[in-house]
Chain A
């Protein structure tokens, strides 16, 4: 039992943004708002005006469930707790195509500080349909292509039609598999000068158009994975105008960085999708503001130093981001690019609603998955230590905003000293 006092309660689900208290009992929110009276049996924490919001929910966290140690599930879950997350959907990229492949996630969930939810492959690495029905029965939150666009459209159509039978969301990487092959950069003047093999933004548009046609054909619910260009956004807008069940995510990195960061040839900025132009970044932020983006994903990936110790094009794409998402969003707020409640919506209630999860809201009876943070204090990423010190595009970046406490199911799962 915990009473959280004097918090700035921000709840995107209800639109609440006001000072007040919140009480936790038996892992759920017992009371929220106004001045609450202590029963005497609970721990009282005075948040002194810090923000108290639902803990973050990530629709895409890359971790190989069979890895252990620094890149394993538990280490990742700890980094998530440190970053203010309460729920991670584990991406199926590492070959999650049968209910048995979820076993390591189920085991880790028993001791994980945050909620771990599996997702499954629509199509496995051998080009066969994954065991969609059995994986959904085993608790998969959604299905997906695991970041590898399926080039065989007939196979994709069948997998989507099959998934639609269960009304499940299918996450499709918004990229053309052929245009993007063996590229490391966004096609444009800069990448040409730098000598990078590059892919055009139009590839994203084609993928969104294809997904739209398949959604019409099969009735599938499609989550467009990691939109990163204005081309993709334009196609998304068209898709939405047809009244289809289409949703979209953006990677947090692409709201902060652009292709100019790659001009250093620094492998930390080697990402998938590649960093795009500043105009693309502006469009993504605008889309976030006008509700075109359903979720911001961390797309967290703990690459080893060795995997990054290569020339830019040869380095492994990916970045550790779980502890950067909240500060990155606070930085956009401080720069007056987005309202805090809107930024939080894309990492709390909106992904929760998409998956039908009860958490992600400050509501009586909802799981007490909460994050308290100070949105204004300067925070140089990594300076005060990190739970996950894998290579990150955010390294040494000047951000604002710091996590104070994270709760999952009413228990404190992270409280940095000082």
Chain B
């Protein structure tokens, strides 16, 4: 299982909120990325937390700098709206782009990116929130609801050509109260691409609760690393019992 560090960024700072809201500064993106790399992280995801407000991603220079120090895959998301944006992100050195709102506005963009750059660089991002007993997909960093059921949306993203799905539980995100295991289990069964899950880790028991039910391809961690409640090695030890 891959362990991913997720760095949500606003105005040059890594920030952390709860339910993707109420953002608090926690540090410098490149310093943290380097620290997690040195701890042995498997992958880094930079997310521009406010990009969708302005329809543009501002992380290109952070990616360029990260490439000089971090020799694991680097993904970037937030505010990527056009094939041109994607080309720029990959040119800056990103290995993968993470797309939610852009795909929702124009699914053909996903097809075009897959054709042009390959599915391996394309992560479809789904922000899930439970409403009336079912999980709906949200856009604009968890702010705007859509009518799409998360599972059917994930399947549509797969057909369009994404190589992986990043599933963020907005309900659990930043709470440290555990993963949304029901959601993750259903999604993992429903899709045939690797699943990255994000949101909710607070303590080792949460990992046990998740991994005894379903094995995602990767887990993204934020608060636990940012607030130094555990090291990458601690998390790897905890996940080891469930390695494939």
The answer to whether A and B interact is no
On B, residues with C-beta under 8 Å from A are: none
On A, residues with C-beta under 8 Å from B are: none
